[in-house]
Structure 1
């Protein structure tokens, strides 16, 4: 079964929404948008009809249209270990140490199910481009990226999969057990293999559906040589770089103890300080380091729920933006967030960032901008993340006809502050993939049953 595309006898569709459209820019589209094939071809102004001819109307009265959101940091496999006793109520390093004992038992069936479930959860929350950072490679999971690509094909969304890596196990002073790491030669060879097999560059694909990036897990799980070699490999293949950085003060202290440098200095030594790089978290930077990040045009994936759950701190998003950094939004792994919901993450960002910057500068539009155009900028994509003529028709439609929205005066703000949860419809490249809150090809109930069975199997294996 294929997702519903626009019919041949109706090539132009007017998504009519008198309630409002968040374009992600300053253009007026308060009465909907026109979509033809995979592109947006007109923004319809308030109270007006389209100027271009159209063949069908999708009535979005009582609904808000947003650009499809873009998740820039996640660990899909962690959906199998939400709220695990023994891991809860711990800061980052003890949390990781406990869970690595569980994750070392991951297999292909588990990762396949987790990828499909996490991807669907993201899509149901308005995400049209899903991103994952997979870095755990026990022996039975050596082809993890291939497994994820197969699962994502069933979702029919855009995806950026980062080929993560860990080479420093506990025997060499790292955090993870040796059973989940790989040799550096293995990592580099497989990184090239998955790029060659799956990466769609913007040169050969005007609007790629699947891209690969390279992502050593963190400064405390790989060697300096691997960081440097990965940067060279990314440059050779023109792909992006991703890692965790400055998430906690413990990490800063670790880098200074092991490498004699703060994380940002270490990153620069490894050849990572440039516009090819985006970092997860970016909380504990000094003002001088923030200025350096901006000058280098480095990107930051802001993950508020995870940062609060692990008590890591608050990302200085406005300082980073004002310094020239690209800043987007990520839900982070489901074991540190216990949720993969992008629209809820936008609300969490609104609330958390107001604690740091106040109510005037942190608005619903600001956090929606992080989740859409901001996130697109992290991935160096200009074809998605906003509603504008010529952009891809990646659209999330939220129905405001619910108790939580009753009485709301500003529809766009209502989606964030009143707590939207699930899309009514989701369009990717001009195709409906979710309608009436249901994915066109995936039985949600069957997926949950399978996923829960595998989660129990994984957790029991570690006892």
Structure 2
């Protein structure tokens, strides 16, 4: 039986999708072999088995979803958009060596570069079913222009819901950190810049298109003062907190040498565990670390492709899920995941975790889909708005084409989506508005974005080479 809501007004414009398989990713993992979704304005009005309710007023579009699977839109919980213009570099490095190799180039970015890179990153994700994207931007060279505004503008142009984690670094090489001295901010400057971004752009209302989070970069590039003051600022402003944590064995060693404790204990000592916090990677977590995350409700952005690219290791995702840790998926920066797509991370999360201790029982296709949808929404603090197809939630959804060559002989649609080749996106809605139609972006021109990004990548390379 369909769940439905009484519309506020008969004049509300409606989109009706019928005859498709549906994976709602609700609390019961409700699925329909053949069902419908009705979108009224920017919210889901009805979802259920069989055809849509009769007598609907003001239906502006009716879509036959035969051969398709409808799911919630994918939610990306960790990225570094600026890296779109430094892909394919340092391809045989571990994390620390990779950072040392690339920081000097990244420290030359400016506003046009960041805008072009953000457009490229967002466009690639949106075309692959991402409807909400989070970016962790922490490089703010002096005189580079309005980098926060460049990213917010790019997200609005592509049409994707956006969480900008306003990052920062204040521990440079002279302080025992990894970034070069010219690539960091002062502690005061980082805190002021974060507060300015929150005051200017954060919108806490239901259906908001922009959230801001406070996001000092990582233990090896930030001071303890910045962590503590950043947490106080975030909680005073009522925004979420994000950072990198427990990504490599080198980070573990760094924390023990500098702070006398591992990353999780260090973060807890500085106020950085809690339901308002999520961390990227969390590869090297022992039982005590996982228990601390579960006890405090701290979330994890799992980035399987990047972890493999940088030889960081296999995160203990099955153990985290069993303990009750909120886990979502992340692309990570495209200098460590050149494809820049989240829908491939569904498959990679499943396959890579099956190489770990739990083997074939590590993750199922449906668990992987949940990580990429509801799990991500929970990590970003938006599970009451997005992440599942339920009445009253925002109309962020994707219609995946599964009757083509790559998928037509895989009987189960969720298995086809997760185990199969990257599925074409016939339709992607954000706030009830199309951002993808027929596997093409509707609001921006892909070729123009590609040309602009290439030009800015070449300009950055020249600037970095000139020193």
TM-score of the pair, normalised by structure 1? 0.94
Match of 1:340 in 2: 340
Q: Which moved more, 1:426-435 or 1:89-98?
A: 426-435
Q: 1:421 to 1:407 in 2, by over 3 A?
A: closer
Counterpart Cα distance in 2 of 1:306 and 1:421: 21
How many Å apart are 1:143 and its aligned residue? 2.7
**Is the partner of 2:425 in helix, strand or coil?**
coil
The residue that corresponds to 2:112 in the other structure is 109
Residue of structure 2 equivalent to 1:57: 62
3-state SS, counterpart of residue 400 of structure 2: strand
Residue aligning to 2:19: 17
Q: Is the 8 A contact 1:24 1:67 kept in 2?
A: yes
CA drift of 1:462 comes to 2.4
User: What's 1:38 paired with?
Assistant: 42
8 Å CA contact 2:110–2:145 kept in 1: the answer is no
Range moving further from structure 2, 48-57 or 192-201: 48-57
CA distance in 1, matches of 2:392, 2:135: 27
Q: Is the 8 A contact 2:17 2:63 kept in 1?
A: yes
Secondary structure in 1 aligned to 2:399? strand
Task: State the aligned residue count.
Answer: 449
Measured against aligned partners, the alpha-carbon deviations of 1:103-162 in whole angstroms (never above 9, x if no partner) come to: 111111100000011011110110000110000111132531122112222112200001
Q: Provide the rounded CA distance (Å) in 1 between the counterparts of 2:181 and 2:359.
A: 45
Secondary structure of 1:44's aligned partner = strand
Match of 1:184 in 2: 187
Q: Please report the TM-score for the alignment, with normalisation by the length of structure 2.
A: 0.93
- 1:261 and 2:261 aligned: yes
Aligned to 1:292: 292
CA distance in 2, matches of 1:51, 1:9: 16
Counterpart contact for 1:28–1:43, Cα < 8 Å = no
Asked whether the equivalents of residues 213 and 239 of structure 1 are also in contact (C-alpha less than 8 Å), the reply is yes
Residue 83 of structure 1, CA deviation: 0.7
Deviations 1:307-361 (A, max 9, x none): 0011101111121122121000001000011122111111111111122223345
Do 1:106 and 1:140's aligned partners in 2 also have CA atoms closer than 8 Å?
no
Deviation at 1:461, TM superposition (A): 2.5
Match of 1:228 in 2: 228
Task: Compute the displacement of 1:100 (Å).
Answer: 0.6
1:127 to 126, 130, 133: 130
CA contact (8 A) 1:44 1:50 kept: no
- Give distance in 2, aligned partners of 1:404 and 1:374: 27
Quote the Cα distance in structure 1 between the aligned partners of 2:360 and 2:386: 28
Cα separation, 1, equivalents of 2:279 and 2:56: 44
Aligned to 1:82: 87
Aligned to 1:277: 277
Inter-CA distance 51–326: structure 2 relative to 1 (3 Å threshold): farther
Deviations 1:40-93 (A, max 9, x none): 111121x45436736352111111111001100000000111112xx1101000
Compute the displacement of 1:402 (Å).
2.5
Contact 2:134 2:162 in 1 (8 A): yes
Q: Tell me the residue number matched to 1:460.
A: 462
**1:217-244: CA deviation from partner (whole Å, max 9, x where unpaired):** 0011010011000000000001001000
- SS of aligned partner of 2:320: helix
Distance (Å, rounded) in 2 between the aligned partners of 1:240 and 1:418: 35
Q: 1:187-245 CA deviation, whole Å, 9 max, x = no partner?
A: 111111110110011xxx11211000011000110100110000000000010010000
Q: Give the direction of change, closer, same or farther, for the CA distance of 1:117–1:422 in structure 2 (3 Å limit).
A: farther
Call closer, same or farther: CA 1:314–1:188 in 2, change over 3 Å: same
Long gaps (5+) in structure 1: 1-7
Distance in 1, matches of 2:107 and 2:408, equals: 47
Aligned to 1:67: 72
Matched residue SS, 1:335:
coil
Shift of 1:401: 3.4
> Could you tell me how far apart the structure 1 residues matched to 2:210 and 2:416 are?
32
Q: What SS does structure 2 have at the residue aligned with 1:403? A: coil
Is 447-456 or 54-63 further displaced after alignment?
A: 54-63
How large is the RMSD of aligned CA atoms in angstroms? 1.5
Q: Which residue of 2 aligns with 1:415?
A: 417
Partners of 1:82 and 1:338 within 8 A in 2: yes
SS in structure 2 opposite 1:336? coil
**Measured at CA, do residues 49 and 212 of structure 1 come closer, stay the same or move farther in structure 2, by a change above 3 Å?**
closer
Aligned partner of residue 362 in structure 1, secondary structure: coil
1:187-266 alignment runs, 5 A limit: 187-201=190-204, 205-266=205-266
Q: Corresponding residue for 1:310?
A: 310
Q: How far is the alpha carbon of 1:290 from its aligned partner?
A: 0.8
After alignment, is 20-29 or 287-296 more displaced? 20-29
